[in-house]
Amino acid sequence: MYTLLSLTKKNSALKALLDNVNTWRHVRLERSADDDGWGSCVDANGEAVVTCSRTDHPQACLAHELLHFDLQMKGYRRVLCGRPRWQSDAIPMRLIAALDNEVQHHKMFPNFRALGFPAQQFYNDDDKSTLSLLEQVFSDFLPKAEDIVVDFLTVIAPGGSFPRKMRESFKNRMYDAWDGQFRSMFKKVEAIIFDWASGNSRDSQQIFTDVLTTIKPDLNMWLGYNDKTSFPSNGFFIGPAFA
Ligand SMILES: [Zn+2]
């Protein structure tokens, strides 16, 4: 389908980004086994693997994935697992994964625009269905903060195919929903993430701690950069350390 060569040969800025990431880790392009979009990860051999699917804008998709690597190359450490001290400290894996993804997107987006790509192409084609899926959040009678904030992160995400105005009105509906009980938490999370987007920090420990303690002030958990077998050395605690 696509090759790194064919995708970068007519775009010198994209080629330069690829060359730069290649100095960090060897980049490999693979076809997604189930054709479910684009993604990227560092594999067990330390190679930077981009998975691809058929899309209307493959160069933008490649740029997106390379910018994930670019940010990691510059110091962002991905947070890939969590371990609560007590059951009451459990944070859904879905939130950890979304936060890891979205805090990177906020940092990457200005660079994506600087490469010359339109904001609407920041995500793969299937983000057109995002808003109708999000509409379902309002059918949840009494969600938990740690669940509903995942959808809020989607609403405040940078770029994408649904218009800014629509996002704003959706955000306001989320502020007002559920008798406004999540309004101040949402606003605080948003302010923390926007500060992060415009600041110089690439420290995932800091942004995870700030966001997660806004959602759960007494949280006591460990978050890992790899998997749970590396507890407690390869990660960090929120709240007091435990064994
Ligand atoms: Zn991404």
Residues 51-104 pLDDT 10s: 999 999 999 999 999 999 999 999 999 999 999 999 998 999 999 999 999 999
Domain of 69, in residue numbers: 4-73
Query: Domain boundary residue among 27, 57, 73?
Result: 73
Residue carrying structure tokens 């990860």 = 41
Is residue 98 domain-shared with residue 193, that is, in the same domain? yes
**Number of separate domains in the chain:** 2
CA 240 / ligand 1 centre spacing (Å) = 31
Collapsed DSSP state (helix, strand, coil) of residue 50: strand
Using the predicted structure, report yes or no on whether residue 155 has a pLDDT greater than 70. yes
CA 92 / ligand 1 centre spacing (Å) = 19
Is residue 190 domain-shared with residue 214, that is, in the same domain? yes
What are the beta bridge partners of residue 40? 50
CA 183 / ligand 1 centre spacing (Å) = 27
Query: Domain boundary residue among 73, 104, 122?
Result: 73
Q: Is 243 part of any domain?
A: no
Q: Is 146 part of any domain?
A: yes
Is residue 10 domain-shared with residue 67, that is, in the same domain? yes
Work out the pLDDT band at 153, boundaries 50, 70, 90. very high
With contact defined as beta carbons under 8 Å apart, do 68 and 18 qualify?
no
Which percentage of the chain shows pLDDT scores above 70?
A: 98
**In whole numbers, what is the pLDDT of the chain averaged over residues?**
94
How far apart are alpha carbons 152 and 155 in whole angstroms? 5
Q: Tally Cβ neighbours within 10 Å of residue 139.
A: 7
Q: Is 104 part of any domain?
A: yes
The tens digit of pLDDT for each residue in 16-51 reads 999 999 999 999 999 998 888 899 999 999 999 999
How far apart are alpha carbons 234 and 36 in whole angstroms? 31
Using the predicted structure, report yes or no on whether residue 124 has a pLDDT greater than 90. no
Which pTM does this prediction carry?
0.95
The secondary structure element, H or E, covering residue 236 is strand 235-238
Is residue 15 domain-shared with residue 132, that is, in the same domain? no
Using the predicted structure, report yes or no on whether residue 128 has a pLDDT greater than 70. no
CA 243 / ligand 1 centre spacing (Å) = 33
Is residue 91 domain-shared with residue 58, that is, in the same domain? no
pLDDT at 78: 97
Work out the pLDDT band at 126, boundaries 50, 70, 90. low
CA 68 / ligand 1 centre spacing (Å) = 7
Is residue 68 domain-shared with residue 87, that is, in the same domain? no
Q: Is 96 part of any domain?
A: yes
CA 130 / ligand 1 centre spacing (Å) = 15
pLDDT at 1: 84
Using the predicted structure, report yes or no on whether residue 2 has a pLDDT greater than 70. yes
Is residue 66 domain-shared with residue 116, that is, in the same domain? no
Instruction: Give the amino acid at 81.
Output: C
Is residue 92 domain-shared with residue 201, that is, in the same domain? yes
Q: Is 138 part of any domain?
A: yes
Q: Return the higher-pLDDT residue of 125 and 62.
A: 62
Is residue 230 domain-shared with residue 139, that is, in the same domain? yes
